[in-house]
Structure 1
């Protein structure tokens, strides 16, 4: 086994550790780990990422059910447009993107480069959300849960399409939406977002199963490491300040996003 491959599997474990420590954000590293350390094609990497993210989020959601932190009605309202959008994106939109999008002055923007550049932009937006965490609705007073259905449906569709293209969970978009649009308390918003991410990611992955050959042995090993990392992260959470770590991780994601843009261009 080569060094990069070993680092790739270690990366899978770290993705889970970050999820366990700060409750989200770790999934944004899945595609870079798969592409740059394990040499997996970006389109396949975004598909595998959906499965890894979905499985990890499902484990997190199941842990929150006994604590009664999940608002199932909100999850259903948000998840239906989201999983429809992510499934259709993976089944039809991603395969429809041409292998060569355009050529300018000798530079050809291929499908793979385009996906990685778009992913890098999402990473940068997510990093700013983590660094500026206080602006995501956490300071709002708790209120009775109520629904702005049109905006929740639109947000679900947008998050679904983004998830379908880049294979990330989109928690940095979902959590503020649940706090601001459904008036959920922050702890419930985080827990409910995990269930939404699990549903839409795993259903989106079904679109890929219908389109490509899946290396199930690799995928289950990598996902197992990420799930194991969650439990390790939850344990480490007793000794590490999650909020400080989240901001530091945000800066790391920002650097990674800029690096991907530099590398691909």
Structure 2
């Protein structure tokens, strides 16, 4: 029996548990786990990672929709631009050697680790966010909807497009881009931001997987057990998140991401 059939669901469970405990950011470790454990290159690992993110994020988004936390119009709007640019990311990935691509991915991990650690540290120490100008996308309290205008549309379109490009290029859902952007450009609650980000990731990742399958570069044999494992892990992570989640866990996860980024950097430099 192919070892990947046994290893891939275990890897999926790990990714799912991390997503359940830490939110959308846990999926960023999908590609590194596939690269190190299954010895896949970035181009092959990316669609497999996106299939797991699409499945897990869809469940989270649907739960958020049930609780009226998902801003689905904003999620769909952002995802449209993400789906349009994701094929460009796939094209770039196919034309960049594996070594430099690993270095690009490690840079994204360093950025994500730094942001998560800083935010978790500020939360643990009770440091408030610095004052800022009113964001372009404001929630109408009476209607419970975002008030749309040109600056708001531009900000969300740019965010969705960048998330889609990185989705195709690196095989990530883009939560490390979407969540900070929604915090900057909207006044949504933290829960609503996370759920809306999951909605965007589900749509972009799902579209990216369909594109990958249509072009014949999708390994269904590895992706199916990996995605099912991720879904199971997500449910486990959500079940225990109330006891283990918090700033300290976010800091531990950020340190873990930093360590993975260092490992990918070394691997990428070795392949140059």
TM-score bracket relative to the smaller structure: 0.7 to 0.9
Residue deviations 1:13-70, cap 9 Å, x none?
1110011112121111111111110122320101211111111111111121211110
- Which residue in 1 is equivalent to 2:93? 94
Cα distance in 2, alignment partners of residues 154 and 215 from structure 1: 30
- Which residue in 1 is equivalent to 2:105? 119
Cα pair distance change 1:259/1:180, threshold 3 Å: same
Cα distance in 1, alignment partners of residues 111 and 147 from structure 2: 27
Task: Report SS of the residue matched to 1:65.
Answer: helix
Cα pair distance change 1:21/1:245, threshold 3 Å: same
Task: Report SS of the residue matched to 1:197.
Answer: helix
Question: What are structure 2's unaligned runs of at least 5 residues?
Answer: 140-145
Residue deviations 1:92-111, cap 9 Å, x none?
4333x15xxxxxxxxxxxx1
Are 2:48 and 2:219, in contact at CA under 8 Å, matched by a contact in 1? no
- Which residue in 1 is equivalent to 2:142? none
Cα distance in 1, alignment partners of residues 115 and 6 from structure 2: 31
Cα deviation for residue 5 of structure 1 reads: 7.7
Please say if 1:175 is aligned against 2:179: yes
| Structure with the higher helix share, 1 or 2 | 2
Question: What are structure 1's unaligned runs of at least 5 residues?
Answer: 99-110
Cα deviation for residue 164 of structure 1 reads: 1.2
Are 2:19 and 2:26, in contact at CA under 8 Å, matched by a contact in 1? yes
Please say if 1:223 is aligned against 2:227: yes
Are 1:5 and 1:37, in contact at CA under 8 Å, matched by a contact in 2? no
Task: Report SS of the residue matched to 2:226.
Answer: helix
Bigger drift between 4-13 and 199-208 goes to 4-13
Cα distance in 2, alignment partners of residues 89 and 226 from structure 1: 24
Cα distance in 2, alignment partners of residues 244 and 5 from structure 1: 34
What count of residue pairs does the alignment treat as equivalent? Answer: 250
Cα deviation for residue 10 of structure 1 reads: 2.6
Cα distance in 2, alignment partners of residues 180 and 6 from structure 1: 42
Cα distance in 2, alignment partners of residues 113 and 5 from structure 1: 26
* Equivalent residue for 2:169, pick from 165, 168, 175: 165
